[in-house]
Chain A
Amino acid sequence: MTEPSRLTVRKTYKLYIGGAFPRSESGRSYVVTSSKGDFLANASRASRKDARDAVTAARKAFPGWSGATAYNRGQILYRVAEMLEGRRAQFVAELVDADGVSARRAGELADATVDRLVWYAGWSDKIGAIQGAANPVAGPYFNLSTSEPTGVVAVVAPQEGPLLGLISVIAPVIVTGNTCVVVASERAPLPSITLAEVLATSDLPGGVVNLLTGKVAELAPWLSSHMDVNAVDLTGCPDELAVSCEQDAAENLKRVLRPPGKTDWQAQPTLDRMTKFLETKTIWHPIGI
């Protein structure tokens, strides 16, 4: 007679709001399957109320995070990369399940994700030098333009690329001091919650990144029309939904990012995803004695 094999302890996948891991207040969940159709987990199906709670948490975190030094934000993003590297095996396993890719390919994606974070981390105290300017006005005035974060950004993460795509939309938003509410890939949400566990242990203040899992078609319209959201990234919205979200976003003049066509997440990013969520502030002061 052989010894009974040990039953594994499964993880409960919850939301990530304000640094905590609550279930959806609605009590709803949905079944997440592997690319082969096997049951993987029940993920929380976030509601309108969860989305609103997440916006509140993001707003609350904004003054502290945008007021932190750029050096500090850079270090924290680098810390996220360190934590991610440490959990590499777990992400590889989840990517194999979610995307049906080989372990080798999943490893490449995990590595690219870590490298992407490191790349963005370095921008925290450099983007200002690229985007700002001392303006030579025609008069005795000191005139300086600096960039500042837009505020609370709602991000609909790409449906494809549940890890590399996800980090490629979150990192550029937060590195400059924005806070965000992210709707994870509906089909493959599990890596996002594992990422939340990484964020929660990386000195990233609670509320800077809030992660919702659930139906994009249900959550994106609430976030796009929310009057305390300053910008939306509609990358993960199907076209028809994106157009209606863009219309909703007009109500309080949200900045809207809607990249044309499919993004190649492997490719080297440009500055666009950072600059879209930056405001330019220009300060004038007379020069005199």
Chain B
Amino acid sequence: MFEYAPAPESRDLVDIRPSYGLFVNGEWVDSLGDERDKTINPASEEVLAEFSLASEADVDRAVSAARKAYESVWGRLPGSERAKYLFRIARIIQERARELAVLESLDNGKPIRESRDVDLPLVAAHFFYYAGWADKLGYAGLGADPRPLGVAAQVIPWNFPLLMLAWKIAPALACGNTVVLKPAETTPLTALAFADICRQADLPPGVVNIVTGAGATGQALVDHPDVNKVAFTGSTEVGRMIARSVAGSRKKLTLELGGKAANIVFDDAALDQAVEGIVNGIFFNQGHVCCAGSRLLVQESIETELLDALKRRLSTLRLGDPLDKNTDIGAINSAAQLAKIKSLSEAGEQEGAERWSPSCPIPDKGFWFPPTLFTGVAQSHRIAREEIFGPVLSVLTFRTPAEAVEKANNSPYGLSAGVWTEKGSRILWMADKLRAGVVWANTFNRFDPTSPFGGYKESGYGREGGRHGLEAYLDV
């Protein structure tokens, strides 16, 4: 393996305040409660900033601000004017992209290569895309003059903090809704930076409100009687709770939840490309990806060859400082997530699967987990059934296409799947049979604002992205 000199991105680009309030009605306000928490850099455990755990009263205040903004300004604004605000936001994000990428890597632990080259470009593109829809909603096939819903309550996860914010806020605003958004408690900083972007764009007060906090804040938000729409991205477990608590309320609900994607490699696949796709599928963003290809299904005849190539490739991955431009694998987002990954990996060993990791120096401070492979995995093993949400790949084998489909679909989840083969008709046959919302053929983990994303079965309902993404925010 080559030695690389460190190439860290400068931290000077970001200006983190020691303490943050809530962003309500276009202003920074102190929480009405006194609960606070700290967000840390998972790569060093250094405290980055303090933030409020918003109380029920805070949530109520934010929802009132959003309601008022909806009724007095945003809900009445012509689509063409809403569009221009969103274009403005997209431009400011592009202008501040490097700063936001560094901030994201600091708070989340993901490599700067990813926050800079994947997250931020997609964030800006998402706002650009939905900006263009704002004055064209009558052409979306959802009625001649589709109406917004009102106030949207949005709760997002920590794996792609700013990107998930974009996926939620851009379509909501384009359709004429106002929002109250709660970022995850381990990654609030880019959402708080986004509040500042709203001010730079002169977005009318109350159109976007950001309340920080943990589960209790999220619950107060989705349960608030004056919200018309609930959008959640996160675990299936929490999604279930939200679906249950929203039941009967008539709030429109979309859920983007967990996954356990099969990445299926046939014996005729272009092997080197497949190896890259497998690596991207499960080690992108430390495997903190709901659509990660966490189950590798490899055709029996090429198992040895593929695993040898995969292990060789894993040995070249560089784990370490997220701000270093050479880094492939960053830090695990939190101590709690690291404990979960460790515990499921131990279960994998206990249940009889064989564990392998490349030799990989682990930094002294922070939360880290080496890229890990399990072979000899049975479908009944916990590591084949449960979402690990970490850099852990479970390898299973199959002989026939029918067996591959059977195993791939043998999951309560149905978010994504991958197929690797050079045979076109087989790709289409597989794509047809796989019960998953996104099928990547000879590629993996591609995202685009024009392309609908979302799950089957217990991976949730509703789509984000594309024309389909509008439906979640319109009264249709």
Residues on A lying within 8 angstroms of B by beta carbon are: 130, 133, 135-139, 141, 143, 145, 150, 230, 242-243, 246-247, 249-253, 255-256, 260, 272, 279-286
Q: Which residues of A contact B452 (CB under 8 A)?
A: 133, 135, 145, 280, 282
B468 in contact with A280 (CB, 8 Å): yes
- Whether B314 sits at the interface, judged by CB under 8 Å, is no
Residues on B lying within 8 angstroms of A by beta carbon are: 125, 141, 236, 239-241, 243-244, 247-248, 250, 255, 257, 412, 427, 431, 436-443, 446, 448, 450-454, 456-461, 463, 466-468, 476
Measured CB to CB, the nearest residue on chain B to A242 is: B248
B439 in contact with A139 (CB, 8 Å): no
State the CA gap A133–B239 with chains docked (Å): 28
Sample 11 A-B pairs with CB under 8 A, ordered by A number: A130-B141, A138-B125, A247-B244, A247-B247, A250-B240, A250-B243, A253-B240, A253-B461, A281-B436, A282-B437, A282-B438
- In-complex Cβ contact of B448 among A135, A249, A281, A285 (8 A): A135
Q: How far is the CB of B133 from chain A (nearest CB, A)?
A: 13
State the CA gap A147–B267 with chains docked (Å): 30
Question: Ordered nearest first, which 4 A-B pairs have the shortest CB separation?
Answer: A243-B248, A250-B243, A246-B247, A137-B448
State the CA gap A194–B345 with chains docked (Å): 57
In the complex with contacts A283-B431, A284-B439, A136-B450 CB distance below 8 A: yes
Q: How far is the CB of A251 from chain B (nearest CB, A)?
A: 7
State the CA gap A242–B459 with chains docked (Å): 23
Q: Which residues of A contact B466 (CB under 8 A)?
A: 133, 135, 145
Q: Which residues of B contact A255 (CB under 8 A)?
A: 461
- In-complex Cβ contact of A137 among B450, B458, B476 (8 A): B450
State the CA gap A115–B58 with chains docked (Å): 54
Q: Which residues of B contact A280 (CB under 8 A)?
A: 437, 452, 454, 463, 468
Q: Which residues of B contact A247 (CB under 8 A)?
A: 244, 247-248
Q: How far is the CB of A246 from chain B (nearest CB, A)?
A: 4
Measured CB to CB, the nearest residue on chain A to B243 is: A250
Q: How far is the CB of B175 from chain A (nearest CB, A)?
A: 17
- In-complex Cβ contact of B439 among A135, A246, A283 (8 A): A283
State the CA gap A139–B250 with chains docked (Å): 39
Q: Which residues of A contact B243 (CB under 8 A)?
A: 249-250, 253
State the CA gap A254–B5 with chains docked (Å): 52
State the CA gap A260–B475 with chains docked (Å): 12
State the CA gap A100–B438 with chains docked (Å): 51
Q: Which residues of A contact B441 (CB under 8 A)?
A: 283-285
Q: How far is the CB of B225 from chain A (nearest CB, A)?
A: 15
Q: Which residues of A contact B438 (CB under 8 A)?
A: 281-284
A145 in contact with B458 (CB, 8 Å): no
In the complex with contacts A247-B247, A281-B437, A284-B443, A253-B468 CB distance below 8 A: no
In the complex with contacts A145-B451, A280-B454, A283-B439, A243-B239 CB distance below 8 A: no
Most B CB atoms within 10 A — which of A230, A256, A282? A282
State the CA gap A255–B461 with chains docked (Å): 7
Q: Which residues of B contact A283 (CB under 8 A)?
A: 431, 438-441
In the complex with contacts A145-B468, A281-B436, A253-B141 CB distance below 8 A: no
B125 in contact with A284 (CB, 8 Å): no
Measured CB to CB, the nearest residue on chain A to B444 is: A284
Q: A280-B468, A284-B451 are in contact. List 12 more A-B contacts (CB 8 A).
A: A145-B452, A243-B247, A255-B461, A256-B247, A281-B431, A281-B437, A281-B456, A282-B452, A282-B453, A284-B443, A286-B442, A286-B443
Measured CB to CB, the nearest residue on chain B to A256 is: B247
